[in-house]
Amino acid sequence: MAVNNDQSICQEFARIIGGQEGFAGGKCVATINRNEIKAIILGERFRVTSSFSFESRNDQTGRALCLGRVALLQIEVENFVASILKQGIIVSSVHNEWFFDHPNLIYVNIESVEDPLVFARKVRRALKSQQS
């Protein structure tokens, strides 16, 4: 059954990325908590997370729609984006979401159609590059 296969792929997807796995309705999501970022919005603590997903996996090709919403500090953006682009993943937006956040958080949205585990490995490499 394809769903069970997608669930096991989802577990591996989350493991590679280093996130917490969730699978529902045919969509896999891996969430990474950025607990090291002590963000404040309007004077309140904000839990910073990045999330990555895949859905609509083709049983014949193994390819799926792979997406990411990555929360970064400004200093991390350049290395992360350079690494993602170098690996052939599309950067669909780079933006801030909050007016009153400290430190200022930048969100990078990424997208690709490929094997989810290949995407996960590329994401992991890019996440390591922004820590350099």
**pLDDT tens track for 4-47:** 688 899 999 999 999 999 988 889 999 999 999 999 999 999 99
| pLDDT bucket at 50, cuts 50 / 70 / 90 | very high
Mean pLDDT score across all residues of the chain: 93
- Spatial CA neighbour of 120 closest among 23, 30, 58: 30
Whether the pTM exceeds 0.85: the reply is yes
Nearest to 71 by CA among 50, 85, 53, 89: 50
Distance in Å from the first CA to the final CA of the chain = 42
Which pLDDT tens digit goes with each residue over 59-108?
899 999 999 999 999 999 999 999 999 999 999 999 999 999 999 999 99
CA distances from 12 to 97, 101, 116 (A): 30, 33, 9
| pLDDT value for 1 | 38
